[in-house]
Amino acid sequence: MSLRLKKNDTVKIITGENKGQTGRIIRVFPDKQRAIVEGKNVVRRHMKPTPKNQQGGIIAKEASIHLSNLMLVCPKTGKATRIGTRILDNGRRVRFSKKAKELID
């Protein structure tokens, strides 16, 4: 299965608590179809002290968001757009913005 969104893409959140906000994708989980967006969907976790985290306590971190709730922001227009794929003459598959008809990769 191919993913339309990749790491470092700028995306807009289209549903949920953070609806309308934009951010950059930090990590993508293809098997779960989820992604972590920088600074969005922040949750608080109670952590025990460990050798890595000596202090412990309540820690805020980003939780994943389902890919269906994210939309790519077109680099040319700056608006959320759907994504299509094209195969170039050399056989390479690239993404393009359906709004601006502009190549993304």
For residue 48, the number of C-alpha atoms closer than 13 Å in the C-beta half-sphere is 2
| pLDDT at 53 exceeding the cut of 50 | yes
Q: pTM of the entire structure?
A: 0.83
| pLDDT at 1 exceeding the cut of 60 | no
Q: How far is residue 3's CA from residue 67's CA, in Å, rounded to a whole number?
A: 9
Q: Which fold has domain 1-73?
A: SH3 type barrels. (2.30.30)
Question: pLDDT over 70 for what percent of the chain?
Answer: 98
**Domain limits of the chain?**
1-73, 76-105
pLDDT tens digit sequence for 68-100: 999 999 988 899 999 999 999 999 999 999 988
Radius of gyration of the chain (CA): 17
Mean pLDDT of 27-56: 92
Q: How far apart are the first and last CA of the chain?
A: 18
